[in-house]
Chain A
Amino acid sequence: MANRRDFLKVSTASAGGLLLSFWLPESSPLAAQQADSLIPGTPISTAPRFNAFIRIAPDDTVTFQIHKAEMGQGTVTSLPQLLAEELDCDWKNIRTEFPAVEPEYGPMMGVFGSQSIRTSWVPLRKAGAAAREMLVETAAKQWKVDASACHTDNGFVINNSTGARLSYGSLAEAASKIPPPAEPKLKDPASYRFIGTSPKKRDTAGKIAGKTIFGLDVIRPGMLYATLQRCPVFGGTVASFDASKAKAVPGVKHVVQISNGVAVVADSTWAALEGRKALTVKFDEGPRAVNSTASLRKMFADLAAKPGATARKEGDAEAVLASVMKDSVMKDSAAKKVESVYEAPYLSHAPMEPLNCVAEVTADGCDVWASTQIQQTARDIAAMVTGLPKEKVRIHTQYIGGGFGRRGRADFIAEGVEIAKAVNAPVKLTWTRDDDLQHDTYRPGSYTKLAASLGPDGMPTAWTGRVVSQSFAGLRNGVDSTAVEGVADMPYSVPNVYVDYHNPDTGIPCSFWRSVGYSQNTFFTESFTDELAHAAGKDPVEFRRALLQKNPRLLGVLNLAAEKAGWGKPLAAGRHRGVAVVNNIGSYNAQVAEVSVEKGKVKVHRVVCAVDCGVLVNPAIAEQQIQSGIVYGLSAALKQAITMDHGRVLQANFDTYDPLRIDEMPVVEVHIVKSTAAPGGLGEASTPTIAPAVANAIFAATGKRIRTLPIRPADLV
């Protein structure tokens, strides 16, 4: 399976040029019913092309190629804002398409790491500015004036002296043929008219009418429907299977074995599901059938007793800690040592749209319609499975019904392509919810020991962390940076810091989960920081302020959140506050949660969140992303864990893996710092801080320190 590094290598070296090349004629009645829908790229624009991102048609329609994907984070709105800003076009003439994989889009095609705005900020504005200069130059030539004697206004080039106007559409054919400027001039931010505003989201209309086509909604002529029976234990394989009963189910057409299991292919999803129920498969479960949550915990705890690979070392934290007497205040000193073990469970992504893939393999190549977060990975996997050259694989990016990192993996695409190849027909593979929860690539569980010493002034003199959490993103000097992020780069000024790491061998497939290592590590460090503040007898906000003097942007959001939440001011009876901060994905975030606890039941009433994400492209989308990250993190903090027994995941649907629901939703207030710094990410900015803010509020309410997620009522009574 390709990993992040492989796809970077592959994508920068590959050839392509498929932008224009492909759309199959729609012939089936079912496909015709989708004709007026928002299938991206229907039809693919063939208008004059200015660069990889912009086409302009004679009727003034401006088509933007969105080289990312849309999974609710607003790319089909915010990326056009960047392009339109510099192109100076009319917002109402814009349409968008998801293009094929092309080398021009570089290694950052796809959506991961809250990168969409960050990696598009410069190139998309330049693409818009370059096209604008080409249009101006073409108009100037027609008028036989210098380009400097012209300006643009909302889709027109205007002759400054005569006032004559030429529309972009009328100039496009000629303008698209002149060489693009090497260094187009970007606008003065003072004159921005799109950046920093919140136009209505361009995909809302389709989504409220049921017209938007997600991956699972794609219908191809002659398409069959597939489900796959996988081994319930990770790494297990098919020993044998009996297809006779499955084949007797009306509508079932094929039962075929592929690499990951046995596929049932039928004329409807329902028939395929019924066929799978009737299928008998014997699996060789392999060595991981012994895994249980208890055995994994013991493995992690045993590792935590031993030194690991060094992730960060400054000063001599261990020597300082050793010199401070354990557990208590020394008789002649105010120095203290605090030590705690924190734990977080494996987690599933559980996007609302179950994983799926529509694939068709013909002599001409392979077509894949998929809601994928990383198009290159999808293409490379399909090429590997079919044995076709990458140029013969065409990825048709579809709207994504939630990704959260899961759709950066391409296991579901490999399966779909393999089944389509085996039955020689277009196939839609649908994962059920139990497939999703039991065959995810999980947020790894973690067992982390933290220790710190406090000097006589109550401030930390040394800080150590030992992280035990499995690697999925590759090791460098024995450390997976995604596993220790949040601990190794904890934001506070402490003179002696030591962090080390163990990579337990579990055989459980893991991958990126919204905010990655910070999703658990910030809970650990920010809860622990609260412990230190209380041990020092200091207010948790004041304590952090003192440690953030060299981190002005994080200090800024801490101060803003504290002020807006009324930190230190009286609260309604029974309510208590907790605070937490994080600096991840290039942004800064602080949250104050307001919580009450009654008979072990936690109610989160209000969350005040302050964010510094640099330049703000779309304030409304930014606010929604912050709310979204809080709900995602709060679901996990209060309710979710993936547990195992006999190598099997025990959760199978939303009854046992329940996300936050509307009656549990706190009031979320978002305050965004005005900034001219380069943009930071937003999609993952607020997820890490909600769990520690809530846990710290629970401590304020009950005196009980939460050190294990999810928060269990039994820990509170």
Chain B
Amino acid sequence: MAVTFKLNGKSQSVDVSPQMPLLWVLRDTLGMTGTKFGCGMALCGACTVQINGSPVRSCVTPVSTLAGKSVTTIEGLSPDASHPVQRAWAELDVPQCGYCQSGQIMTAAALVDKKVAPTDADIDEAMRGNICRCGTYQAIRAAVHTAAKYRAAKGAA
């Protein structure tokens, strides 16, 4: 059964088992490996993408639920890593091993879209579903604050 949805701004049709989670459609069917597998049970956040602008765990999202929706992955967040969150991440050199960072960035991007000046408590609440085993949390917290400033400046311009 073919499903059609918007992927990073372009129409995408896939003909796979309707139960196949978006994560595996992205990685195995479409060869887009920026979205990561970490737990398969929405417990770690490594697979986070945005669906209609909200952060969603792609590992538990059957592809059949996506008809007509708009999916953004790390590959589509910006063409050149210029999204305010990516700029902040680069400035603070956040990643260590980097494996969880696609998911961290997709969650953070949704946060700064929603909150102009997120507090530490806002960051805790939005980001606590994203595990980083390297322990980059302190850098992530600082980078989200920086990203929010970039986002606000961009919005004002």
In the complex, what residues of B have CB within 8 A of residue A624's CB? 96, 136, 139
| Complex contact B41–A632 (CB within 8 A) | no
Query: Distance in Å from the Cβ of B123 to the closest Cβ of chain A?
Result: 7
Given contacts A204-B95, A402-B99, A663-B124, contact A353 B136 (CB under 8 A): no
- Residue from A217, A632, A635 having most chain B Cβ neighbours under 10 A: A217
| Interface pair A433/B99, CB less than 8 Å apart | no
User: Is A404's beta carbon under 8 Å from chain B?
Assistant: yes
| A332 is an interface residue with CB less than 8 A from chain B | no
- Residues of chain B with a CB closer than 8 A to A225's CB: 28
Interface string of A555-596 (1 = CB under 8 A from B): 000000000000000000000000000000000000000000
A246 within 8 A of B: no
- Judge whether A430 is part of the interface by a CB distance below 8 angstroms: yes
> Do residues B74 and A209 form an inter-chain contact, with CB atoms below 8 A?
yes
Partner of B138, one of A29, A207, A270, A665: A665
**Chain B interfacial residues counted at CB < 8 A:** 58
State whether A628 and B134 are in contact (beta carbons under 8 Å apart), knowing that A204-B90, A210-B73, A655-B41 are contacts in the complex: yes
Q: A residues within 8 A CB of B136?
A: 624, 627-628
| Residues from chain B with Cβ under 8 Å of A271 in the complex | 17
From B24, B130, B138, A667 is in contact (CB under 8 Å) with B138
In the complex with contacts A270-B28, A653-B43, A665-B141, A352-B17 CB distance below 8 A? no
Q: CB-CB < 8 A to B35: which residues of A? A: 210
Within 8 A of B (CB), among A309-352: 350-352
Nearest Cβ distance between residue B104 and chain A, in whole angstroms?
A: 9
Q: Does A536 contact B (CB under 8 A)?
A: no
- Asked if residues A354 and B93 are in contact (CB atoms below 8 Å), the reply is no
B115 at the interface (CB under 8 A from A): no
**B34 contacts the other chain (Cβ, under 8 Å)?**
yes
Q: B36 → chain A, closest Cβ, in Å?
A: 7
The answer to whether B93 touches A201 (Cβ under 8 A) is: yes
Q: Mark A267-280, 1 if CB is under 8 A from B, else 0.
A: 01111010000000
Which residues of A are found within 8 Å of B39, using beta-carbon distances?
Answer: 433, 653-654
Which residues of chain B are within 8 angstroms of A269 by Cβ–Cβ distance?
24, 27-28, 37
Partner of A661, one of B89, B128, B134: B128
Chain B residues closer than 8 Å to A353, beta-carbon distance: 36, 38, 97, 99
Q: Does B21 contact A (CB under 8 A)?
A: yes
Q: A433's contact among B41, B135, B141, by CB below 8 Å, is which?
A: B41
Contact of A404 among B31, B34, B129, B133 (CB under 8 A): B133
Which of B21, B100, B102, B132 has the most A CB atoms < 10 Å from its CB? B132
CB of A210 within 8 A of CB of B95, answer: no
- The one of A204, A250, A660 in contact with B93, judged by C-beta atoms closer than 8 angstroms, is A204
Secondary structure of the B contact surface, majority rule: loop
Contact A659 B133 (CB under 8 A): yes
What residues of B have a CB within 8 angstroms of the CB of A402 in the complex? 97, 99, 133-134
CB of A72 within 8 A of CB of B97, answer yes
B102 cross-chain contacts in A, Cβ below 8 A: 210
Mark B93-126 against chain A: 1 for CB-CB distance below 8 A, else 0.
Answer: 1111111111001000000000000000001110
CB–CB B135/A207 < 8 A: no
Residues of A within 8 A of B95 (CB): 72, 201, 203-204, 207-208
Are B124 and A662 touching (Cβ within 8 A)? yes
The residue of chain A having its C-beta at the shortest distance from the C-beta of B44 within the complex is A654
Q: Are B123 and A72 in contact (CB under 8 A)?
A: no
A213 within 8 A of B: yes
Which partner residue on chain A sits nearest B105 by CB separation?
A208
- Please state if A662 and B140 are interface contacts (CB–CB under 8 Å): yes
- In angstroms, Cα B141 to Cα A213, docked, is 25
Q: Are B34 and A665 in contact (CB under 8 A)?
A: no
User: Do B93 and A620 touch (CB < 8 A)?
Assistant: yes
Is A210's CB under 8 angstroms from B31's CB?
Answer: no
B46 contacts A by Cβ under 8 Å: yes
Q: Which of B40, B98, B125, B139 contacts A399 (CB 8 A)?
A: B98
Q: How far is the CB of B66 from chain A (nearest CB, A)?
A: 15
CB 8 Å contact bits of A616-637 with B (1 = contact, 0 = none): 0000100010011111100100
Chain B residues contacting A663 (CB-CB under 8 Å) are 124-125, 128
1/0 per residue, CB under 8 A from B, across A396-427: the answer is 00011111100000000000000000000000
Name B89's contact: one of A34, A208, A404, A662 (CB within 8 Å): A208
Q: Which of A644-683 contact B (CB under 8 A)?
A: 653-655, 659-663, 665, 667-668
Q: Provide the bound-state CA to CA distance between A238 and B9, in Å.
A: 49
**C-alpha spacing A192/B44, complex, angstroms:** 42
A204 touches B131 (CB 8 A): no
Bound CA–CA A430/B81 (angstroms) = 29
> Is the C-beta of A84 less than 8 angstroms from some C-beta in chain B?
no
The yes or no answer to B33 lying at the interface (CB within 8 A) is yes
Tell me the bound Cα distance from A136 to B87 in angstroms. 40
The distance from the CB of B40 to the nearest CB of chain A, in whole angstroms, is 6
A239 touches B (CB below 8 Å): no
B62-95 contacts to A (CB < 8 Å): 73-75, 81, 86, 89-90, 93-95
Q: Which of B28, B38, B127 contacts A354 (CB 8 A)?
A: B38
Q: Are A631 and B27 in contact (CB under 8 A)?
A: no
**Would you call A401 and B93 a contact (CB within 8 A)?**
no
User: Which of B33, B46, B89, B129 is close to A352, meaning CB atoms less than 8 Å apart?
Assistant: B46
Q: Which residue of B has the minimal Cβ distance to A211? A: B34
Q: Check if B13 is an interface residue, CB within 8 A of chain A.
A: no
Tell yes or no: A212 within 8 A of B by CB: yes
A-B contact pairs, 21 of them (CB 8 A): A31-B31, A33-B32, A72-B96, A203-B98, A204-B95, A205-B81, A210-B34, A212-B98, A214-B98, A216-B36, A250-B17, A268-B16, A269-B27, A352-B36, A401-B98, A430-B37, A433-B40, A653-B40, A661-B137, A663-B124, A665-B141
Chain A interface residues toward B at CB < 8 A? 29-31, 33-34, 70-74, 200-201, 203-214, 216-217, 219, 225, 250-251, 268-271, 273, 350-354, 399-404, 430, 432-433, 620, 624, 627-632, 635, 653-655, 659-663, 665, 667-668
Given contact pairs A352-B99, A627-B138, A628-B135, a sample of 14 additional A-B residue pairs in the complex whose CB atoms are under 8 Å apart: A74-B96, A204-B95, A204-B98, A216-B36, A269-B24, A270-B24, A270-B28, A353-B99, A433-B40, A631-B137, A654-B41, A661-B129, A665-B137, A665-B138
Interface residues of B, Cβ cutoff 8 Å to A: 16-17, 20-21, 24, 27-29, 31-41, 43-44, 46, 73-75, 81, 86, 89-90, 93-102, 105, 123-125, 127-141
